[in-house]
């Protein structure tokens, strides 16, 4: 089978699994482990088709609904193949006739009986594309490429910016670097990038935004810990904690360890990293080892204090809590497919439970930084307000950098929320 046909067939299988409730990252990891002999180009083509297709939530489904004359339930695998082919057609990476031909060949390998249907639908799309685009623009879900409930929540939360928030969720994410100040200055590292032909510009004290994403093995000094990949929005956390040498610090939901590493690069503190997932704790340990940093890494539920605390309180706590990840949907487009409206309230309940537990582990005079990568107020200000309502000794402090609590996703950074809580001495 030709490379594009093979990639379309493989992508269709993965996208169908995601549509049925599986995680894209887990599926790509499984494929990588099973296909050890695949080339980087093949893996790249597969990832592009999967991510691109899943970012287009609602649009491809609407195209099939508009063009198909089939009655009854459709074959999920054939449907997913069509979605992938529509993305390939609109990506501009391939000639139209190539996509139609290769998608038809892919169908012949996975569902031979549907080959004529796929070919006819793709050709019908090419003929009807101008009028179809006008029709899709009037369909809110197809136009904004997000679930209807997500669109309504964004519109209610950000009357003047909801379309920006949704549009950001459909973009390719930026690639930003965090320079390890213990090893090299930001300006010096920028010069090293330039020498390698990698264009970047500085957008923060330690943040360099690349013009184009590159594989990490192309980054000079990455293997020896001179730099890490971390969104510039996420880089706010360490600076907001007011870290000082000698403090006991807890990163309560630490995986994969980017913020943990930044904490240790910022100050000589005694850091404990906790995550509920043992495999993700291993990721934390590997990331710290690459940077030559050390911390206590524990696999535990941070809301169950008795299972991991030894009694001594922490001077600083970072609570980067589990959330809807609605602020990073462009990095994890399967979120659009996997989340449900009822998940938001469930996350808020869990977030409040974590806050209540961690507050008991915070020393008098200490500070707790609550962080989400969500744009939904129900997980952000509403949780902080609910916590403060029954915890009168908690004081919400101003953020030291003077920035807003809510960062909305934009070309430079993802969407994040930050709230700093202080406990009286």
Q: What is the pLDDT of residue 381?
A: 98
pLDDT tens for 318-354 read 999 999 999 999 999 999 999 999 999 999 999 999 9
For 153-156, the CB contacts below 8 A with 24+ separation are 153/341, 153/344, 153/376, 153/378, 154/375
Integer angstrom CA distances of residue 178 from 207, 238, 266, 408: 5, 12, 12, 20
DSSP per-residue letters across 152-214: HHHHHH-TTTHHHHHHHTTSPPP-EEEE-TTT--HHHHHHHHHHTT--EEE-SSSEEEESS--
- E-strand ranges in 276-403 read 296-299, 314-320, 362-372, 395-397
Q: Which residues of the chain have pLDDT under 70?
A: 1, 35-37, 71-73
Contact status, residue 394 vs residue 387, Cβ threshold 8 Å: yes
Say how far apart CA 196 and CA 203 lie, in whole Å: 20
Active site residues: 373
Distance of alpha carbon 217 from its chain centroid, rounded?
Answer: 21
Burial of 65 per CB tally in 10 Å (0-12, 13-18, 19+): exposed
Q: What is the pLDDT of residue 39?
A: 83
User: 3-state class of 414 per DSSP?
Assistant: coil
The distance in angstroms from the start CA to the end CA of the chain is: 69
Q: Which helix (H) or strand (E) holds 91?
A: helix 76-91
pTM above 0.85, yes or no: yes
pLDDT tens for 232-260 read 999 999 999 999 999 999 999 999 999 99
Say how far apart CA 163 and CA 143 lie, in whole Å: 11
Residues 138, 141, 144, 150, CA torsion sign: positive
Query: Going by DSSP bridges, is the β-strand pair 270-275/362-372 parallel, antiparallel, or unpaired?
Result: unpaired
Of the candidates 409, 408, 384, the one whose C-alpha atom is nearest the C-alpha of residue 397 is 384
Q: What is the pLDDT of residue 73?
A: 56
Instruction: Assess whether the previous peptide bond of 120 is cis (omega < 30° from 0).
Output: no
Q: Which helix (H) or strand (E) holds 66?
A: helix 59-67
Show Cβ contacts of residue 281 under 8 Å, excluding neighbours closer than 6 positions. 254, 255, 273, 275, 297, 298, 299
Say how far apart CA 39 and CA 37 lie, in whole Å: 7
Say how far apart CA 263 and CA 272 lie, in whole Å: 11
Please state at what angle helix 3-19 crosses helix 40-55, rounded to 10 degrees: 50
Burial of 138 per CB tally in 10 Å (0-12, 13-18, 19+): exposed
Q: Which helix (H) or strand (E) holds 251?
A: strand 248-251
Q: What is the pLDDT of residue 288?
A: 97
């Amino acid at each position: 089978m030709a490379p594009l046909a093979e990639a379309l067939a493989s992508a269709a299988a993965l996208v169908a699994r995601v549509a049925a409730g599986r995680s894209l990252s887990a599926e790509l990891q499984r494929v990588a482990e099973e296909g050890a002999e695949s080339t980087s180009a093949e893996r790249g083509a597969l990832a592009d088709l999967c991510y691109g297709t899943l970012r287009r939530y609602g649009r491809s489904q609407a195209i099939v609904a508009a063009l198909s004359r089939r009655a009854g339930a459709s074959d999920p695998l054939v449907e997913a193949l069509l979605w992938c082919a529509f993305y390939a057609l609109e990506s501009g990476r391939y000639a139209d006739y190539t996509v139609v031909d290769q998608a038809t060949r892919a169908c012949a390998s996975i569902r031979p009986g549907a080959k004529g249907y796929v070919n006819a639908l793709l050709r019908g799309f090419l003929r009807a594309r101008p009028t179809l685009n006008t029709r899709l623009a009037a369909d809110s879900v197809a136009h904004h490429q997000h679930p209807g409930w997500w669109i309504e929540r964004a519109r209610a939360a950000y009357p003047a910016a909801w379309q920006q928030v949704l549009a950001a969720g459909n973009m390719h994410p930026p690639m930003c670097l965090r320079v390890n100040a213990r090893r090299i200055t930001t300006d010096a590292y920028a010069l090293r990038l330039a020498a390698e032909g990698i264009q970047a510009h500085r957008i923060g004290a330690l943040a360099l935004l690349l013009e184009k994403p590159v594989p990490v093995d192309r980054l000079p000094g990455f293997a020896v810990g001179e730099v890490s990949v971390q969104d510039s929005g996420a880089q706010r956390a360490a600076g907001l904690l007011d870290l000082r040498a000698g403090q006991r610090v807890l990163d309560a939901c630490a995986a994969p360890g980017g913020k943990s590493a930044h904490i240790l690069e910022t100050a000589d503190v005694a850091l404990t990293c906790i995550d509920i997932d043992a495999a993700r704790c291993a990721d934390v340990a590997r990331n710290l080892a690459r940077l030559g940093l050390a911390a206590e890494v524990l696999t535990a539920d941070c809301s169950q204090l008795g299972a991991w605390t030894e009694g001594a309180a922490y001077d600083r706590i970072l609570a980067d809590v589990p959330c809807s990840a609605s602020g990073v949907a462009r990095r994890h487009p399967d979120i659009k497919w996997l989340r449900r409206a009822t998940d938001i309230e469930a996350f808020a309940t869990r977030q409040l439970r974590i806050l209540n537990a961690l507050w008991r582990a915070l020393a008098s005079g200490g500070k707790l930084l609550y962080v989400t990568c969500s744009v939904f107020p129900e997980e952000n200000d509403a949780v902080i307000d609910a916590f403060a309502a029954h915890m009168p000794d908690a004081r919400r402090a101003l953020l030291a950098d003077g920035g807003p609590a809510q960062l909305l996703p934009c070309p430079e950074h993802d969407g994040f929320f930050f709230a700093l809580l202080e406990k009286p001495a």
